[in-house]
Every structure is written in structure tokens, then in C-alpha cells.
Structure 1
Amino acid sequence: MNANGGRFVAFRRGSERLPIKGIYAESPSTAMGQDGAAARVTWQNEASKRLATGLPAEVQKQLAAEGLSAVTPDNSGD
């Protein structure tokens, strides 16, 4: 059904035209905004894995493009 500018799934509780009971699905923004929601946990785990593997390579690539080395500075207290 279309109503108020949106679409939703509905089913009838009887043989009459009314009442219709709407079934609302969770939107992606709602799922990502809730701590512990399956979508958010999955996204965070995947993002952490990709960040851990991809960030060092991207930093190295950028350093090489700039002509810099990846040597850490000496922090001897100067």
C-alpha cells in the first residue's frame, strides 16, 4: 500500500475492508543507531577488520607518494 508518501506492507484482520494492520520494517538508520543491533555489530566488526588491514598499507602508500620514509621519529626527550 501507499500512504502518506511512503509504502508499507499490510494485512487484513478480517474479511471487511477495514481494519488494516500495518507491518513496519526496521530502517537501516534505526538499526545502525541502536547499540547491540545485529546490523551495527556486523558493520563494526567488518569495519574494524578492514581498518586494521587496510590502514597501514594506505599510510605506506601515501608516505611513498610524498617521498617520505615510515621511520618513527626519535622521542629521546629533546
Structure 2
Amino acid sequence: MATGETGFKDVAYDLVSVQYHSLKAGHDYGQYVRDAKNAGETEIADFFQDVMREDSERAARCHDFLTELAEKGDIGPAAS
């Protein structure tokens, strides 16, 4: 999406996108953990929990970056 289409700079849009997808995936991984546990696959369940934690950390990092951009007034509207 080109700068200006959303009213926000591309980097802000990109961070929001990564944050959204990380949070959405984290929600889905909860089911994967349950499936693995129900199948008696503890190691796989642990793997999915690690992936879920990594996505949670990624979403939090995006939030931090977005906060920094907002505090600098560098989040939007996009420059012409």
C-alpha cells in the first residue's frame, strides 16, 4: 500500500500489520497446543507454546515501536 492511501506512513501501517498477524496467529496457536496435548505430543505442544510466545513478543515489540513513532509525531498522516 503506497504512502497516503491510509493516511499513515508505510512503516506505521507495516507495524500494525505485523502486530495484527502476530496476535491472530497467537490465538490460533492456542488450538494447536491443545491439539498436541490431546494427542499426547508434549514436545510438539511445547514447540507451539514457544511459537505463541515469540509471536506475543513480536506483537509487543510492534506496540513499542508504534508508541515511539506516535510520541515523535511520526506516525501519520502521511507526508505528501
TM-score, structure 1 normalization: 0.32
**Higher relative CO (CA 8 A, sep ≥ 6), structure 1 or 2?**
2
Q: Considering fraction of residues, name the structure with more strand.
A: 1
Structure with higher Rg: it is: 1
Q: TM-score, normalised by structure 2?
A: 0.31
